[in-house]
Amino acid sequence: MIHATALAMAPIQSAFGRHWPQARCMNLLDDCLSVDRAEAGSLTPDMVQRFIDLAAYAQRAGCSGILFTCSAFGTAIEAAGRAVGLPTLKPNEAMFEEALALSPAQGAKLGLIATFEASIPSMSAELQDMARACGRQIELHTEFVPEAMSDLAQGHAAQHHQKIALAARKLAACDVVMLAQFSMDAAQPAVQAELACPVLSSPDCAVLALQKRMSHV
């Protein structure tokens, strides 16, 4: 696993414990990536190269598959996957696939809640591209929850969950709601309690998808 924030590490480890405990996991962390991405406003060639370098390091260490948990770096992850030639999964790829499967109607309303604002444009574009590739049209609604990520980093998990759950009420008309960041995984029950539609988080979807992809190599 390759991370841009330490907050993503515990949720994905828990998901591996639930779904694929036999996997031997290695964690690589560059916790400046999220800060640099937010400050730059867009991906830079230097950031893309850092992703390639991290993936190459994982390959040299003997990894046979890579899962990125950082949600604002889609094209950099694609470049890293091409560079190493290993099964490489973007963080929300599997969750998007499941959301589209759960809402098959044309014009379905999908909701996306994020605690890292810079991830919203790239994730929205990725989801829309995936829908178009399936011949689908979707109506995407996004909500940014300010300060929630800071709450979690400071150890205030209950406040983090509550803020996300309150924001989710604005997406009550959606057919499916997704939690954008891996670090939001523990808030899923609180969000689900506010909504009648399915609420998806990335870690469980990602582990199951990576396991399937690696089994076909």
Based on the fold, state whether residues 82 and 117 are members of the same structural domain. no
Cα 6 from Cα 31, distance rounded (Å): 7
Q: Both 105 and 71 in a single domain?
A: no
Determine the pLDDT at residue 38: 85
Give yes or no: residues 80 and 97 share one domain: no
100 and 182 fall within a common domain: yes
Q: How far does CA 171 lie from the centroid of its chain?
A: 19
> For 56-105, what is each residue's pLDDT tens digit?
999 999 999 999 998 778 889 999 999 999 999 999 999 999 999 999 88
51 and 107 inside one domain:
no
Identify whether residues 104 and 128 lie together within a single domain: yes
Position 217 pLDDT exceeds 70: no
- Same domain, yes or no: 98 and 177: yes
- 50 has a pLDDT exceeding 80: yes
Q: Are residues 44 and 87 in the same domain?
A: yes
How many CB atoms lie under 10 A from the CB of residue 134?
Answer: 12
Q: Are residues 104 and 33 in the same domain?
A: no
- Verify that 160 and 128 share a domain, yes or no: yes
pLDDT digits (tens, 9 = 90+) for 120-166: 998 999 999 999 999 999 999 999 999 999 999 999 999 999 999 99
Task: Give the mean model confidence (pLDDT) for residues 30-45.
Answer: 90
Distance CA 81, CA 77 (A): 6
Summarize pLDDT for 166-216 with one digit per residue, the tens.
999 999 999 999 999 999 999 999 999 999 999 999 999 999 999 999 987
For residue 149, give the CATH number of its domain.
Answer: 3.40.50.1860
What does the block give as tokens for 63?
């990894």
Picking from 169, 113, 102, 167, the residue whose alpha carbon sits closest to that of residue 140 is 113
Task: List Cβ neighbours of 46 (8 Å cut-off, separation of 6 or more).
Answer: none
Give this prediction's pTM.
0.87
Cβ atoms of residues 182 and 114 within 8 Å: no
Pair (24, 83) in one structural domain: yes
Same domain for 20 and 105, yes or no, is: no
Q: Which domain holds residue 11?
A: 2-91+205-215
- Give the number of domains in the chain: 2
